[in-house]
Structure formats: C-alpha cells, structure tokens
Amino acid sequence: MAGSCIIMRASVPTLWWATATPLLLLLLAGAGGGCHGAPLKAHFYRHSCPAAEAVVRDIVLARVAADPAKLPAKLLRLFFHDCFVRGCDASVLIDSTTSSTAEKDAAPNGSLGGYDVIDTAKAVLEAVCPGVVSCADVVALAARDAVSSQFGRDLWDVQLGRRDGLVSRASEALAEIPSPSDNFTTLEANFAAKGLDVKDLVILSGAHTIGVAHCNTFAARLSSSSSVSGAGDPSLNAAYAAQLRARCGPTPSAAASNNATAVPMDPGSPARFDAHYFVNLKLGRGLFASDAALLTDRRAAGMIHRLTRQEHFLEEFRNAVRKMGRVGVLTGERGEIRRNCRAVNS
C-alpha cells in the first residue's frame, strides 16, 4: 500500500555494499524502524512549507548541471545507504563526535558524496520554514530530483513525512550495508530483512547503471585461486576483464591496492540512468560479484531480460525505490526535525 511502512526483521551481521547503486534489525523500540504515527504521503509540506519541494529541486538541479556525470549517482547512493541502516532517517548525515563514530565514517560509506548538496538545501529550508522539513525527506527528494534531471520529468513521486533519527553508529553501517562481494543467498536475506524481496533486489541493483567504482572494490573478480596473473572469475566476460586489468593493474594484488582509479559501473552508458546495466549483465559485464550473483538465481535471472527494456525498467524502478523509501521510517512523534543535518538537536 502507498502509505504503508516496511517491517525490518532480525539479521546476522554481514559486510555489505561499498558502492553505488543501488541498502537489519527487528523493529526494536527506539532503534529507528517501523510504523509510528501517520503514514508518508505526497505533498506532506503543502501547508507547513509550500516551497519545500521546489527549494530542493532548484538546488539539486543547479548542482547537477555543474556535475551531471557524477552527482546523480552520489545522491541516489546516499539515499540507499541511509535507508539500509536504521531506515530512511538521515542517520547517514550525522557527523562523528569524540565519543561516537558515525555511519558516514564506516568503511562502506567512505566514498559517499553529495553531503554538501543536502546541507545547502537544508540551510535554505531552515531560513524559509525553520524546524519543519526533515533531513530524511531532503535526502529522498534530492535522490529523485538528481536522477530525474536527464529526463525533464519526475521518474517517481516521493512520499514525505519522514522524521530524522537520533543515532548513527559506524558499526551498524558496517554490518548492514551490502557488499559488492555478496553472493545471492546473502543478498536475498539482507534485502528480506528490510522487507524487500527478490524483485526489489534485482531492480534496485539497476541503480548501478550510473556511477563509478574503484578498482579495490572488485579486484577479487580479476583473480582466481589457481592463478596469480589475474585469470579471473569465469563468469566475468574475458574481454571486459582484460579492460579492467588494463585500468586497475595487471595482477590481483595491484588491483586490490588501487583505490584511486575509478571505472564506470555500466560500461557503455555510465552517465545515463537507463536499462543498459541489465544488457551488460547478460553479456557477463556486471562489475561486481553481487551483480553477477543475480544470474545465479532462477527467479532473478528470469527478470533480467524484461528489464533490458527501458520503459519497463523505469516503471519497475519507480515502484521499488518508493518501497525502499518507506523502510524503517520515523513519523509522528518519533525522532526529530534536525536543524542541522550533521548533528542531532541539543
């Protein structure tokens, strides 16, 4: 249902995604999950801050115009990483303190970006409507507006009314953010713990159609247990593997130590939000082990051919990202509206 919340279940800690695209606790009291108060709804700020959505859109579009190749991927990834730890509560934006290391300083979040865009939008909103618009809603709107910029229309509607979380722990980000090395069984379990199913997993993985990754995040695919020369994962297209080794280093150890060189996650269409990621998957050109893992499950593999059609992908992504945006949201009296997205209110 449009306004329903996603229930989070218990999970075994695992190491999760360290890259773009596209996201484990039981609904614990005070832990930032579940259905509290009114459900999310469209145009939540229609009366309390009528300019809210326009403010975010204008700032995001101006910044994307200056960085069209990278910023949409950064803001979409920021939204994913936020929702996969404590739900979509902007906990990823909180800075570390002398007594607590926050999510953003966990290893999987080390390459996140777009914080400055959120800061700018929030500062303007505080000047226009102080204490009204949550940082969590700004993150959700910014992701949608950035990705939609190339289309001239909204790719999905954003339901609003999230409130901001009060806790941010690096240890939780380390445990709950998907890893590019995860196999399908781990991915399915982790997504299920967020109330997301196999279909959501496959479609949200399509967020890897934009953005880049550094060589060290996929170096293991360029090697094999029987070779030190980089013979590589047999599921990886040989010609593509050769291109990656040329960029990252000729040996597995060279690639594993290369955290400076970036390569597109969707070769051939790195800056366009399109269905080309799924075309590449079928050709053995998924960059991460977690991408290739989608082909190892009959249900997931059966979805990929249809998702190579652009309009079908966009329609399905709209549904999946809206569902993800309801994971663990705080509403009603839960959480707070932060004045500064980087710190809880004093």
- In this structure, the number of other CB atoms found within 10 A of the CB of residue 185 comes to 11
**Which among 265, 58, 54, 274 has a CA at the least distance from the CA of 147?**
274
Task: Quickly tell me which residue has 């941010």 as its tokens.
Answer: 168
Q: Is 297 annotated as a binding residue?
A: no
Residue 43 falls in the annotated catalytic set: no
What is the rounded CA–CA span in Å between residue 214 and residue 220? 12
Q: Is 4 annotated as a binding residue?
A: no
Among 36, 43, 47, 81, the one annotated catalytic: 81
Q: Is 37 annotated as a binding residue?
A: no
Q: Which two tokens stand for residue 251?
A: 């040996």
Q: Is 274 annotated as a binding residue?
A: yes
What is the rounded CA–CA span in Å between residue 41 and residue 43? 6
What is the rounded CA–CA span in Å between residue 293 and residue 313? 19
**DSSP annotation of 93:** G
Q: Is 87 annotated as a binding residue?
A: yes
Residue 346: partners with Cβ closer than 8 Å, 6 or more residues away: none
Q: Which two tokens stand for residue 37?
A: 């108060």
What is the rounded CA–CA span in Å between residue 157 and residue 160? 10
Q: How far is CA 149 from the centre of its chain?
A: 18
The percent of the chain in helix, strand and coil, each rounded to the nearest 5, is 45, 5, 50
**Is 39 exposed, middle or buried, given 0-12, 13-18 or 19+ CB atoms closer than 10 A?**
middle
The number of residues in the chain equals 346
What is the rounded CA–CA span in Å between residue 222 and residue 241? 7
Q: Is 103 annotated as a binding residue?
A: yes
Q: Is 266 annotated as a binding residue?
A: yes
Q: Is 250 annotated as a binding residue?
A: no
**DSSP annotation of 257:** T
Q: Is 105 annotated as a binding residue?
A: no
First to last CA, the chain: 36
**Active-site residues: which are they?**
81
In the annotated binding site for substrate, the residues are: 178
Q: Residue ranges for the binding site? A: 82, 85, 87, 89, 91, 103, 178, 208-209, 266, 274
Write out the binding residues for heme b: 208
Binding residues for Ca(2+): 82, 85, 87, 89, 91, 103, 209, 266, 274
